[in-house]
Amino acid sequence: MEHQNNDTYLAKWLAGDMSEEELMVFKKTAEYKDYKFIVDVIGGLDTPTYDQQKNFSATLNKISNQNQKSTAKVRTLIPSWAYAAAAAVVLFLGYSFFFQQTNFQAQLAEQTNFHLPDGSEVILNAGSEISFKSFNWDSNRTLDLTGEAYFKVKKGSKFTVKTKEGTVAVLGTQFTVNSRSDFYNVTCFEGKVMVTSGKLNHILTPGNAISIQNNIAAPYKTTEAVPSWTAHESLFNEVAIYEVITELERQYNITVSGKENLKTAYFTGRFSHTNLQQALTTVFDTMEIRYTFDANRNVRIQKYK
């Protein structure tokens, strides 16, 4: 019947614009009952009550408030002490900007990763601390480290890591520095790293490491592509849940079905790479996502609250 390719006949029906014959034919179709039912139920719906008087006075209020504001603006003279206060604020902000240190800390049994102002990446191992000055970072890339950290340095000016035992200087590269209390260890993963400790001077190339104890340097080789401590956990800071689940899939070689139906939510936290059950619990339970897990390592998301 001609309804089928007409994209407004339902609108005509609602408005009562259908002819007798059209209506007769439509009433015989299977879908008529459904549409009738929908329309009947919607007719019983209601919107929240509306208090016209209240809204009108609110509107008048807004109008008079805005008038007050605009006249107030014109009349107010800036008192002279305000200039002094403003100058003090500027001085204080300037001071903070030029001299203030930025600090990052990793507590025991956790790692922290963050980006430096130039985009270089730092992974800070447990119980370590880094501080640096954000001001003019691009031309003075120097930071202080206590503990152990992994650096992925963007190409640019010289990048210097100062520790109690010595300094490490590089141009774009990846390396770790471990400067615990009685131990100084630097591993180079990419590029060239210059290690200075006391009077010792060493240049490391990729795959090489050096540990220095009591002013004795012991070079050694490493086959790792990245330090292992950075690799057994995934960390997230306000990452879309979809990305987190994708990472879970990658780490454990599983498939999670239904993840594309999840509402947007952000996950902050970490999961271990060594215990799947625990990792699933970590991610899904905290996000209140119900899921099933079968023998074929398929995870199915059931419902998202």
Partner 1 sequence: MPDTQKSVCEQRVFEEVFNTHSKTIRNFIYYKCGDAAQAEDLTQDAFVKLWNNCAKVPFEKAKSYLYTLANNAFLNEVAHKKVILKHQKSVSSIASHESPEFVYREKEFKEELDRAIANLTEKQREVFLLNRIENKKYKEIAEMLGISVKAVEKRIHGALVSLRSEIKEFKK
Q: Least distance (Å) from partner 1 to the CB of residue 27?
A: 15
Environment class of residue 284 by beta-carbon count within 10 Å: exposed (0-12), middle (13-18) or buried (19+)? buried
Cβ atoms of 129 and 147 within 8 Å: the answer is yes
Nearer to partner 1, 221 or 263 (CB): 263
State the CB neighbour count (10 A cutoff) for residue 134.
Answer: 13
Environment class of residue 86 by beta-carbon count within 10 Å: exposed (0-12), middle (13-18) or buried (19+)? exposed
Nearer to partner 1, 60 or 200 (CB): 60
Cβ atoms of 231 and 273 within 8 Å: the answer is yes
Q: Least distance (Å) from partner 1 to the CB of residue 69?
A: 12
User: Which residue ranges make up the site for partner 1 (CB under 8 A)?
Assistant: 7-12, 14-15, 31, 34-35, 37-48, 50, 52, 55-56, 58-59, 62-63, 66
Q: Least distance (Å) from partner 1 to the CB of residue 284?
A: 23
Nearer to partner 1, 46 or 294 (CB): 46
Q: Least distance (Å) from partner 1 to the CB of residue 57?
A: 10
Nearer to partner 1, 55 or 213 (CB): 55
* Residue 132: C-alpha distances to residues 99, 112, 136, 143, 211 (Å): 10, 16, 11, 5, 24
Nearer to partner 1, 47 or 214 (CB): 47
Q: Least distance (Å) from partner 1 to the CB of residue 44?
A: 3
For residue 137, give every residue at least 6 positions away whose Cβ sits within 8 Å of its Cβ, in sequence order, or none: 116, 117, 118
